[in-house]
Structure 1
Amino acid sequence: MAELKNSIVKSNESAAGPDGVYYQFLRHTLLKLFNNIWSTGDIPPSWREASVVPIPKPGKDPSYPSNHRPIALTSCLCKTRERMVIDRLVHVLESGNLLSKCGFRKDHSTLDHLVGLETFIKKAFARKK
């Protein structure tokens, strides 16, 4: 239940995808549905679809197709389930110390690696390598 609540908290009140489901619906009990999908592996076909909507770029002439960017509206239910799976994977990987200490993760900076690389290079130069 905690994973479901955490995933819903991260959801924006965005437009519905092809299935017509809005995030307001997710405020109700979906844990049984998601656990069933988890145990059977049966993903609803509508979760594999997207509605692509062209959005005009700001300050550009909207009469030209190249002045639009595509937005893919996908199932809110699918995105919520994906967030739950990602959160679970991150928890397992982090708690098992299975990831290197690199950037692009919470509380890990790419700057640390740049400083480490700089130190490695300086030591190599000092040893004339």
Structure 2
Amino acid sequence: MQEVLFTQRSVRKVLLSLDVNKSSGPDGVPPIVLKTCAPELAPVLTRLFRYSYSLGIVPNSWKTALVHPIPKKGDRSDPSNYRFIAITSLFSKVMETVINSQLMRYLEDHQLISDRQYGFHRGRSAGDLLDYLTHRWVEAVESKGLPLGIPVGR
């Protein structure tokens, strides 16, 4: 894979796609600010991302996370009934999204992701996996567990 390219267009696109209902990270910058100011911020952030990537250094503030417990269904007094989420800087999420987009495009274009990869794969879902598994189970039952292509009764 070639170098990751940070363009103003790709950075602006990610900024404009931010969910304004999500929380701010530890830096306190709300997503509505980044989204609203995307045209003005894209050139500056593009330069910052390029510089960070070229040095191989991520700002320490981007490595900090706010960890919040989220209750699962059930007894809220039971500590095991919580899952934890880490809220990180939106700047790092924007940079990660630009990198991930190019990496996934490269992997897909060069067929380096298995056709059986369902998680984190554009256009695939858990429902697709269930369809595939159900199909395979039906085939196995119909062939009485024999490898496919071997006639039953031999």
TM-score band by shorter chain is: 0.7 to 0.9
Structure 1 position 23 matched with structure 2 position 31: yes
> How does the TM-score come out when normalised to structure 1?
0.73
Aligned to 2:110: 96
- CA 1:126–1:80: 2 relative to 1, 3 Å: same
Q: Secondary structure at the match of 2:49?
A: helix
Query: Which residues of 2 match residues 47-126 of structure 1 at below 5 A?
Result: 47-55=62-70, 64=77, 66=79, 68-104=82-118, 105-108=121-124, 109-110=128-129, 111-112=131-132, 115=135, 118=139, 123=148, 126=151
Q: Percent identity?
A: 28
Superposition RMSD in Å: 3.2
Give the equivalent residue in structure 1 for 2:4. none
Residue 123 of structure 1: SS of its match in structure 2? coil
Closer, same or farther: CA 4–113 of 1 in aligned 2, 3 Å: farther
The answer to whether the 8 Å contact 1:3/1:87 transfers is no
How far residue 73 of structure 1 moved from its aligned partner, in angstroms, is 1.7
Number of equivalenced pairs: 127
- State whether structure 2 residue 61 is matched by structure 1 residue 36: no
The one-letter amino acid paired with 2:30 is: Y
Mean Cα deviation higher: 96-105 or 48-57: 48-57
- The alpha carbon displacement at 1:90 in A equals 0.5
CA distance in 1, matches of 2:83, 2:112: 38
Q: Relative to 1, partners in 2 of residues 1:107 and 1:60: Cα closer, same or farther, differing over 3 Å? A: same
C-alpha contact 1:46 1:75 (8 A) present in aligned 2:
yes
**Residue 71 (structure 1) shift:** 3.3
Q: Unaligned stretches of 5+ in structure 2?
A: 1-7
In the superposition, the TM-score normalised over structure 2's length comes to 0.63
How far off is 1:41 after superposition?
1.1
**Match of residue 8 from structure 1:** 15
Moved more, 68-77 or 50-59: 50-59
Measure the CA separation in 2 of the matches of 1:49 and 1:19.
Answer: 9
Instruction: Using CA pairs under 8 Å that are at least 6 residues apart, name the structure with larger relative contact order, 1 or 2.
Output: 1
Gaps of 5+ in 1: none
Structure 1 equivalent of residue 5 of structure 2: none
